[in-house]
Structure 1
């Protein structure tokens, strides 16, 4: 559940607010002389009453447009978006709020609409667009030092990491958000419970199941007492957590109870119904009730297709359906769900750039395509448009096959590069050695005794790991060697066949590769932490140097090292 500011319950309401309606709106006589503060207070104290909120917000908007009060105008557009039923108008109102906010000198007015925009995209599983909004919000929040919005942005980015399967990276962000909410002087109950809910969910996906149970139970108690909106999601969370604890019947009870209390028409809860049908199916699989499991997975697909919510977490449900129809010899249905799975995967890849290992481990793509061709052949005798279907299928299969062949070759190349780095004492780039070329020495305009002295000094400094210092320069090194920067640059160019910067970066990358192979604790560092550990100031500079020298990213190298242990 993404965290946003103040008016989270408004998404539950249905109301269409178009430009025509705004123009036609007439301020009631009882509100004509009300101040903005009075109208806003009436609005926030009646946020459950859709009709009243409509009147208050449209009054604020009409009044602010007439008086050119951009501050209240920006807020009114943003808050009205919560009541908008048409999705295109909902986004239009948010964008209008952003447009008006740009006319203000106070950048903090941009925070709320960017938060709403990110939440809008998050609910639609358009994670790339959501991330763009949250990163923009974080940039502005840091600029204006808004701790609340910094927390909201980091929390929601943590949720996005959860959605693409980066659970280990998501957990620290969500834990940090929860601690922030817990330690606030004036606790915001809604934000506190939403942070607790996200943290509990992350604990489940990181298989820290007992901690998840603690927070789920605490959340149920607090929600029931002071914030009903998170009551059902906490019960639902614990239902999934109990499934992973192998407490099947208790898991079923919790999931069923939570879903029975939710509204499937509520767009914020639709994804919970999708996930709920998935775990209902998994539970029936555990109980060996294959027909019942198939029924739940078919309901899952109905929700996915109707709402266009492609959640990677539920992918196994499609594989079960395909295998079931295979056993039942229902080739038409099997073909239908193979196509749905291929479409499901393509959506996940294109929208979220997310590829799961299970794609190859549990449902091999080449096998899937071969099965598809066999089924098409079986149906040829009963199909009137056989040629059209065949050519469409072959074209689609070739495109899909090319995509996966490209990914396969890429992974194969990365694996070769990784295995090369595992060999003992293998330097990442061409060996750093003295060329000792007399002809080259005389060509660079540096006396031979100085060349020998500098090379000897460099060798000693390399053993002392001087290159791990930050902000190292050719001037500082030449001073340590008792020479000048011009001579040092020439000697390194001639004797080591590289620039000074590349020489330093090569030493750093060689060092970190060997340390990562031996030091498990170092592998737990973030990329920024690793960069600073070996002398880089920025994670981007370190990653670029590592990729240039080794052909792979440092994150990939660490992941493969951990997997090999």
Structure 2
């Protein structure tokens, strides 16, 4: 029954497979551009700043800085990373700082992982997972589950690795947690990479990179570029992979290098490409660099694969004896860390190599070992379990896509409804705006003709009374004398006479004209002058001056066509205004229309009369 169900699932997978799209340079370029933009815009922590901050910090703040120093050093020096993490752990216990304590436990588990101590790493991860407080810290939980999946993969327990990663992805999807999704995709990509399913590995790697860019998690950039280059090499060949490594090296020049742990695997992967291309000297150079880093830092996790690569290099050089030693070293180092997938690979190579060299006993031993490890890694049950897990994931993705489509459909309906509402509002607003426009246009037209009519009338009146100007002033003074006295009549008459004379001389065209300067010219004090203007001119000083300027301007615009067609800034300054804003404001306040409109209509009227 189980086998029948498995075949049904496999058939289903062949129909609904979500993978299989071709990876091209066009697919990858937007991601590389996104990485470059992130690196250009992000401020990466500097060691001196972190150390200075640590020196001045105490309590929980000091713990957090120590944990940041761990992050800074983890791929550079496990010794220093452990030093700061241990201090954070001790302080967290003393202060009962739960978040710091849990992070430090997770960090120590990862240190064990990169040292190849998988049992200790898993023990700490499980200890952390059993802590009830872990549920309150989603990032620490995601890191822990990702680490467990990594360990399962390195041990060759692929069904457990994939199940752990898949459960984490479903948690991230349910909570819509981008960080959890990012870590889950990293674990799934790592799993497929070990299985040699490079297209699926790259697909999941790019999904994870989407979230890295969204969250601006710059610390994951270098490992991710290396993964992309490695998988591109398998899918597209050496040329495309080396272009991505060129991009990697270019980034190293702009920001601090990621550290020895990442650098060692990058050198190994570049060496793999050169071995394939038979550029053996370059391959040797990069492998030597990788070995120097691995030995200096005791990266036991890196040793088995480094020895395998060295064996491949020696085989390409025709040195089977040294290659055999390299494979034996790979076998021993893989055995130490229980890297069963490497043991399987190496035992097969040693079986073939010993057989070719005539060592039948050794060949038989490694053949038996290969079959034994293969059976333990991929039993029928575990392989079926993997297929079922893949089916579960794809069904989950299809369900999620269906939900997304339903949401999009509802969203589209809402969008259409919103667009209709916006269209209706726009139509109604446009209708009222049009009515308002014609209303304002009609009003402005009436104001223009009224203003023009009054201006023409005043201009004609001025011409008629020019001969009787003195008499007019005296009449004005005499008329004023009948009002209630607010100032000595003689003083008032002197000030008003002088003021009228200055009006004829157009004193107001001076933009610096003020109450103080005018009082000095009239040889009186500001108080008396202000009272006369307020009572006799029925305006405060500012409005009085602006009214004189506007009246002067209207007369000149009516009579002088060349002046009328000058720039408004020139018209404003020659009328006594300091700037265009003051001019516009005064003209609009006095007449209700803008000067530009008034001039335009004057020109139109004149054109009609000429026609």
TM-score by structure 1 length? 0.50
Q: Which has the larger radius of gyration?
A: 2
- The structure whose residues are more often helix, as a share, is 2
